[in-house]
Amino acid sequence: MSSTRRWQHWLLSDSPASPFQAAAGRTYLGLAEFLKNRLAVFGLLIIAALILIAFFAPYIAPCDPLVTNLVNRLQPLSAAHYFGTDEVGRDIFSRIVWGSRLTLYVIGLVAIIAAPVGIIIGTVSGYFGGLIDTILMRITDIFLAFPKLILALAFVAALGPGIENAVIAIAITSWPPYARIARGETITIRNGDFIKAIRLQGAGPIRIITGHIMPLCISSLIVRITLDMAGIILTAAGLGFLGLGAQPPSPEWGAMTSTGRAYIIDHWWLITMPGTAIFVVSLAFNLLGDGLREVLDPKSDN
């Protein structure tokens, strides 16, 4: 008790004695604020569970997700098959467990490709303004002129169906909004007195953009990217559903829903289970994003 008190006192000190203590205090306050939002914590827990399931898939899944067993086809839920079996007798639970890897793969890759591109284009465009800004923003606008899914479809059509191509297509269509947000934030920040002040200390553009502007853009981008993850999951599943994303027999949730369509009248679990998985993960990202917004972007509420 007294030792936790002491820690708390150290963390909340009005006059921290080191940069580390100052940063720790900040993190602590942010964390405390975040933990108060139960729904956001719930979202975070689901995402943590998703990551663990994906990591330990071989140990969690009772069956091989790809091995067919026609004798056992279209079995309802049971102790042997928690979520039943599909039209060729594969265990749906195992397929969903392995499918979590594909989901993580897609959102991870899209975030790694799209976020840095968006941030760099946005901040550079916003900071320098003028011709650079005009050119970069024209390009961004061209990409924004297509509805996302349609452009992704066109790219998939050109590159051929498949999960890698779906990732590329989604990434290409995801960065423009990030660039827009980063640019907007940069323009507001750039005109702030503290940027003038650091310019007067003799700092060059690279130091200003990376050390002063980006850290301030990043919090609103993290919120946006987290919320977008939900959309990316839905888009990837949609591509899978149309037969343009991951190809059978790989256990991608959208593709599983698509094959289950033929059996919806009598074998409801074929579409219900993968659909629920998509919904739960996407909901988790939405809840986490909303919670992060309240912590990182205090101006939006209250």
Scanning residues 211 to 270, which ones bind another protein (CB under 8 A)?
211-212, 215-216, 227, 230-231, 234, 237-238, 241-244, 254, 257, 261, 264-265, 268
Residue count, binding to another protein (CB under 8 A): 72
By CB under 8 A, is residue 30 in contact with another protein? no
**At its nearest, how many Å lie between another protein and the CB of residue 6?**
19
**At its nearest, how many Å lie between another protein and the CB of residue 79?**
25
> Sign of dihedral through CA atoms 23, 25, 223, 39?
positive
By CB under 8 A, is residue 203 in contact with another protein? yes
Report how far Cα 149 is from the mean position of its chain's Cα atoms.
Answer: 17
Q: What is the DSSP string of 82-141?
A: TT-B-TT--BHHHHHHHHHHHHHHHHHHHHHHHHHHHHHHHHHHHHH-HHHHHHHHHHHH
The C-alpha atoms of residue 7 and residue 19 are separated, in whole angstroms, by: 16
**At its nearest, how many Å lie between another protein and the CB of residue 64?**
26
Looking at the Cβ atoms of 50 and 63, the one nearer to another protein is 50
Q: Which of 7, 26, 27, 112 binds another protein (CB under 8 A)?
A: 26
Q: Which residue in this structure is represented by tokens 């002129």?
A: 145
Report the site for another protein in 54-73 (rule: CB under 8 A). Answer: none
174 burial level (CB within 10 Å; 0-12, 13-18, 19+): buried
Q: Which of 139, 162, 184, 248 binds another protein (CB under 8 A)?
A: 139
Looking at the Cβ atoms of 46 and 66, the one nearer to another protein is 46
Looking at the Cβ atoms of 63 and 127, the one nearer to another protein is 127
By CB under 8 A, is residue 177 in contact with another protein? no
By CB under 8 A, is residue 192 in contact with another protein? yes
- First vs last Cα of the chain: how many Å apart? 33
Question: How far is residue 276 from each of residues 97, 254, 256, 273, measured CA to CA in Å?
Answer: 13, 11, 12, 5
Report the site for another protein in 149-168 (rule: CB under 8 A). Answer: 149-151, 153-160
By CB under 8 A, is residue 3 in contact with another protein? no
Q: Which of 129, 194, 205, 210 binds another protein (CB under 8 A)?
A: 194
Tell me: cis bond preceding 274? Omega within 30 of 0 counts: no
Dihedral pair phi/psi, residue 91, rounded to 5°: -75, 115
Q: Which of 95, 101, 148, 180 binds another protein (CB under 8 A)?
A: 148
Cβ neighbours of 300 (radius 10 Å): 11
The C-alpha atoms of residue 173 and residue 248 are separated, in whole angstroms, by: 25
Looking at the Cβ atoms of 74 and 216, the one nearer to another protein is 216
